[in-house]
Structure 1
Amino acid sequence: METNERMNPVRPQVVTDSTAVSTAEQFQNQTVRPLLKLLDGGIQTLWHHHWPKRKTPYDRFNNQEKIAYIERAVREDTRLRLTLLGMVLGHFTPDEWSTYKGEEAEITRRITTLLIQRLQSRI
């Protein structure tokens, strides 16, 4: 059984708009969103491990401050961003890697945005 066939049944189904125009948007909807849903527990665990190490009084922030801090931390803290991206990229199948390589900058931007949204949605 090929890797793609073994991996895809494990991923949760995510209903998205099927009128995606670009390759990057199709990849986001068919690959990235299900992976983020699958990895949600690990993403949240990593986040709760991150902010105490940075000596940030995150738990004392109000909701607006938390939302702003999450965005700033993911975009500016290279170690955090690359760890989160690595969690997602590590679950790509060989075919998905081929697609990713063709549109790496755009797909990486989309993954980062979705990671921020996922973390912010837990506030």
Structure 2
Amino acid sequence: MEDSRDFLLAIRPNLPQVLPTESVLEQFQNTTLRPILKLQNDLLVAIFRQYIVVRKGQFYALSEKEQIQYIEQVVKKDMKFKHYLEGIISAYFTLDEYQIFLSHEEELTKRLINMLIQRLQSQLLLLTK
């Protein structure tokens, strides 16, 4: 069956190649998740900034260390928000990638969430503007 979603591969940013791996999970992480997270970066930052505003901006009163912890807690513990963010990423999967994701859903979801948290944490300056 032809994958009508293959056009999504063309819009992903090219990232520096990492060493080839035999692990399906690492390969998926490096060839699918990383480029999609980079592609969606500005949107993810905007969504998190809106999350902060809706929650009355308590984030801004926190120290940098507390902000980093806050990001992790929110993304891991607010299930509605977590699933929303997962959808923002998985919407850019091809059908083949989606099948791989389903085959290893628990582990790939953990990797996705951890990468997303790291991406947001590394951009504190953008989140607090």
- Could you list the per-position Cα deviations for residues 52-99 of structure 1 after superposition, in whole angstroms to 9, with x for gaps in the alignment? 222351112221111010001111011111111000011111110111
In structure 2, what is the Cα distance between the partners aligned to 1:22 and 1:2? 24
Q: CA-atom RMSD, angstroms?
A: 1.5
Runs of 5+ consecutive residues of structure 2 not aligned to the other structure: 125-129
Would you say 1:31 and 2:35 are equivalent positions? no
Three-state SS of the structure 2 residue aligned to 1:3 is: coil
The answer to whether the Cα contact below 8 Å between 1:4 and 1:95 also exists between their aligned partners in 2 is no
In structure 1, what is the Cα distance between the partners aligned to 2:96 and 2:66? 40
How many equivalent pairs are there?
123
TM-score, structure 2 as length reference: 0.88
Quote the offset at 1:103 in angstroms.
0.4
In structure 2, what is the Cα distance between the partners aligned to 1:70 and 1:5? 32
The answer to whether the Cα contact below 8 Å between 1:35 and 1:88 also exists between their aligned partners in 2 is yes
Three-state SS of the structure 2 residue aligned to 1:14 is: coil
Q: Which moved more, 1:76-85 or 1:16-25?
A: 16-25
Report the counterpart of residue 49 of structure 2 in structure 1. 48
Three-state SS of the structure 2 residue aligned to 1:92 is: coil
Amino acid at match of 1:77: D
